[in-house]
Amino acid sequence: MTRGQILLLSCLSLVGPARQFATAAEPQRLTRDGQLKFSPVFIDQGRRVVYSAHNQPQRVSIIRLDLASGKNTVHYPAGSDSQFDIAFSADRKIECFARSGGIRQLSLVIRHTATKQEYLFHPPGALRSTVRTPRFTPDGKRIVLTLNAPGGQQIVSLDLQGKDLRKLTASNGINGWPAISPDGQTIVFSSSRKGPLDLWLMDADGSNQRPFAGSPRRDLYPAWSPDGKRIAFTSARDGNQEIYVIDRDGTNLRRLTHHKERDMFPVWHPDGRRLLTIAERGGRFDFYLWDVKATLAATR
- Using an 8 Å Cβ cutoff, are 262 and 272 in contact? no
pTM: 0.90
Same fold, 33-149 and 168-300: yes
Q: Of the candidates 48, 8, 20, which has an alpha carbon nearest to the alpha carbon of residue 260? A: 20
Strand partners, 99: 83, 107
CATH (one of 1.10.10.10, 2.40.50.140, 1.10.357.10, 2.120.10.30) for 168-300 = 2.120.10.30
Domain segments of the chain as ranges: 33-149, 168-300
CA pair distance 264, 266, nearest whole angstrom: 6
* Helix, strand, coil fractions of the chain, as percent rounded to 5: 5, 45, 45
218-268 pLDDT, tens digit each: 899 999 999 999 999 999 988 889 999 999 999 999 999 999 999 999 999
pLDDT greater than 50 at residue 4: no
Strand partners, 96: 87, 110
pLDDT greater than 70 at residue 1: no
| CATH number, span 33-149 | 2.120.10.30
CA pair distance 283, 261, nearest whole angstrom: 8
74-110 pLDDT, tens digit each: 999 877 899 999 999 999 999 999 999 999 999 999 9
Sign of CA pseudo-dihedral 10, 54, 274, 145: positive
